[in-house]
């Protein structure tokens, strides 16, 4: 059956959008059973609001975890830094001096006078090295001590007293009577010097 009107040779876009406009503004249909576009859009809006709230909460939790992890990371790094740090030559020298001082303390705690003598001699060798590091010149410890400025060497008297005992031991040998009390006092004088200058 043929149509009475002329054939349609074009698509009426304006008519199509007019129908869509009427559909949206009329609620998509009539009656209570009709599809409600406004209701559907309200439903989508509710879902979007819930999603937005959850996204914000997730973002806040993620930021909190990130901040906590960063703080803990730097705390752990700081705690482990001394363990894995590369030693400088100065630090290595200090570590060696500590081991030497431990050996000297082992000697002075011995019950043998020969060990006390050895402890004092070893301590004087350390004193000589300390004076060299501080830049004092001389052929012997005595000469270097005479070059010391007392204002920059608070334990100068301790160094002199300890060095004099060492000289007595070196010059008199076994004939010099070294008591345990004098030996400990001499080592204490050396210790005061080394502590002042950061050697132990």
d(CA 21, CA 105): 100
Specify the pLDDT at position 22.
63
Alpha carbon distances (Å) from 44 to 3, 41, 97, 122: 44, 5, 77, 88
Longest dimension (CA), the chain: 147
Of 96, 102, 143, the C-alpha closest to 119 is: 102
d(CA 41, CA 47): 10
The DSSP letter of residue 139 is S
d(CA 149, CA 152): 6
d(CA 85, CA 81): 6
d(CA 17, CA 130): 97
Specify the pLDDT at position 113.
94
Specify the pLDDT at position 21.
63
CB 130 within 8 A of CB 194: yes
What are the tokens at 28?
A: 């998509």
Specify the pLDDT at position 41.
73
Decide: helix, strand or coil at residue 198: coil
Buried-state track 87-110, b at ≥16 Cβ within 10 A, e below 16: eeeeeeeeeebeebbeebeebbee
pLDDT tens, per residue, the chain with 200 residues: 455 555 555 555 566 566 666 655 655 444 444 456 676 677 777 788 888 888 889 999 999 999 999 998 888 888 777 665 555 555 555 454 578 999 999 999 998 999 999 999 999 999 999 999 999 999 999 999 999 999 999 999 999 999 999 999 999 988 999 999 999 999 999 999 999 998 88
Radius of gyration for the alpha carbons in the chain, expressed in angstroms and rounded: 46
């Amino acid at each position: 059956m043929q149509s009475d009107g002329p054939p349609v040779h074009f698509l009426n876009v304006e008519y199509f959008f007019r129908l869509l406009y009427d559909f949206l503004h009329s609620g998509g249909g009539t009656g209570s059973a009709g599809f409600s576009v406004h209701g559907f859009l309200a439903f989508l809006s509710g879902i979007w609001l819930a999603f937005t709230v959850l996204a914000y909460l997730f973002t806040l939790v993620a930021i909190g975890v990130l901040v906590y992890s960063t703080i803990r990371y730097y705390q752990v790094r700081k705690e482990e830094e001394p363990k894995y740090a590369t030693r400088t030559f100065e630090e290595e020298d200090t570590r060696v001096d500590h081991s030497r001082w431990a050996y000297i303390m082992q000697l002075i705690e011995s019950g043998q006078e020969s060990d006390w003598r050895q402890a004092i001699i070893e301590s004087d060798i350390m004193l000589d090295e300390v004076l060299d590091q501080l830049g004092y010149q001389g052929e012997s410890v005595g000469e270097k001590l005479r070059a010391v400025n007392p204002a920059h060497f608070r334990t100068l008297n301790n160094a002199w007293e300890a060095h004099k005992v060492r000289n007595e031991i070196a010059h008199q040998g076994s004939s010099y009577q070294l008591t345990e009390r004098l030996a400990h006092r001499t080592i204490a004088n050396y210790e005061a010097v080394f502590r002042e200058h950061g050697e132990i």
